[in-house]
Amino acid sequence: MVDLRVQIGGGLELKNPVTTASGTFGFGQEFTDFIDLNELGGIFVKGLTLKLRQGNDYPRMAETPSGMLNAVGLQNKGIDYFIETTYPEIKNYKTEIFPNINGSVVEDYIAVAEKVNEIEGINALELNISCPNVKEGGMAFGVSCPSAIAVTEAVRKAYDGVIIVKLSPNVTDITEIAKGVEGAGANAVSLVNTFLGMAIDAKTRKPILSTITGGLSGPAIKPIALRMVWQVYNAIKIPIVGMGGIMNAEDAIEFMLAGSAAIQVGTANFIDPQISIKILKGIEEYCKDNNISAVRDLIGAMEV
């Protein structure tokens, strides 16, 4: 038996390191025909805001080499709808549910965090300061150290549970932001969110996305994401939840070797709705084949 448990900060333990990334897995219910959600280490649900958001205009996606761009723009029904309607439907699954919270201004983040603080059964939130697809807030908070620190400190005061700050890769030095939020009270960081990119239709000379630019995800970003996880691992002491183009168990193991305590499966969910569980089984197989008794022994275990 491989011990699959991992610690992801603030005393929070997941039963295994495989979780699903916000915005790629809905609220989990979309996947119940395909997998048993109880098997997952956790689910980072679709990004939530204080009020309902319609998101951006269609078209919101473009297929790109080994990946895709999206410009969804945090379409969601608001935190109150989540608390009253969605959460009661998913709270009995034996997996960790992580609300992913967003805001245009610091006050929005505080208001959402205060509401999350009151939800029984929620132990942690993901503080998203890296959404590239909203005009106000979002990534703006995550690309400068002072604002990343300010929003983390503010949410720290409003929220008693575990805070995982989701970092943007669209920065000069991601380790500076990681160190900043660590100092501001984050219990963990998750990285990376999508890379800002764009696509043009050469025939029509028009941008493919309604917002012109969008967030690039998928295996195209994996080597960069992996490098950033490794850099951050060497810069901070709090745990890392790693992501960026993980398509299979081997990718997930690489992210753990680079320093991730847990991983998020994202865009791969769109291609194979069962991939998260396949990745979990693959990690377990790898551990068995390599006589690794506890999966946590893989964290940061790259040999140089």
Partner 1 sequence: MKKVQDFKVLEYNWLNEDNYVLTLIGEEEIPEIKAGNFAEIQVPDISDVFLRRPISVLDVDYEKKTLSFYIKAIGKGTRKLGQLSVGQKVNIIYPLGNHFSIHNEKKVLIIGGGSGIAPFVMLGRELKSKNIDVTFLMGGRTKNDIFLTDEFSKYGKVEVTTEDGSRGEKGMVTHHSLFKGDFDYNKVYTCGPDPMMKAVSKIAEAKGILCEASLENMMACGIGACLCCVTPTHDGNKIVCTEGPVFNTKELAW
Instruction: Please report, as ranges, the residues that interact with partner 1 according to CB under 8 A.
Output: 23-26, 30-31, 33-34, 46, 52, 54-55, 57-61, 63-68, 70, 72, 75, 218, 269-274
Q: Which is nearer to partner 1, 3 or 30 (CB)?
A: 30
**Residue 71 CB, nearest approach to partner 1 (Å):** 9
User: Which CB atom, from 54 or from 172, has the smaller least distance to partner 1?
Assistant: 54
CA distance 79 to 103: 11
Kindly tell me which of 15 and 278 has the beta carbon lying closer to partner 1.
278
Most distant pair of Cα atoms in the chain: their distance: 57
Distances (CA, A) of 23 to 30, 93, 266: 12, 19, 8
- The nearer residue to partner 1, 62 or 256, going by C-beta atoms, is 62
CB of 34 to partner 1, least distance (A): 6
Q: Among 102, 85, 113, 106, which residue's Cα sits nearest to residue 27?
A: 85
Helix, strand, coil % (nearest 5) of the chain?
35, 20, 45
AA identity, residue 94 = K
131 is catalytic: yes
- Min CB(144)–partner 1 separation in Å: 28
Q: H or E stretch including 158?
A: helix 145-158
Q: Which of 72, 97, 101, 131 is catalytic?
A: 131
When the beta carbons of 60 and 179 are compared against partner 1, the nearer one is: 60
Shortest separation between residue 304's beta carbon and partner 1, angstroms: 31
CB of 218 to partner 1, least distance (A): 6
Could you tell me if residue 101 is left (phi over 0), alpha (psi between -120 and 50 degrees) or otherwise beta? beta
The answer to whether 188 touches 239, Cβ cutoff 8 Å, is yes
Secondary structure (DSSP) of 241-295: EE-SS--SHHHHHHHHHTT-SEEEE-THHHH-TTHHHHHHHHHHHHHHHTT-SBG
Q: Which is nearer to partner 1, 33 or 136 (CB)?
A: 33
Structure tokens at 204: 């029509």
Residues forming a β-bridge with 64? 67
Cβ contacts of 276 within 8 Å, gap of 6 or more? 18, 19, 20, 25, 35, 40, 265, 268, 269
* Shortest reach from residue 25's CB to partner 1, in Å: 6
Task: Give the residue numbers marked as catalytic.
Answer: 131
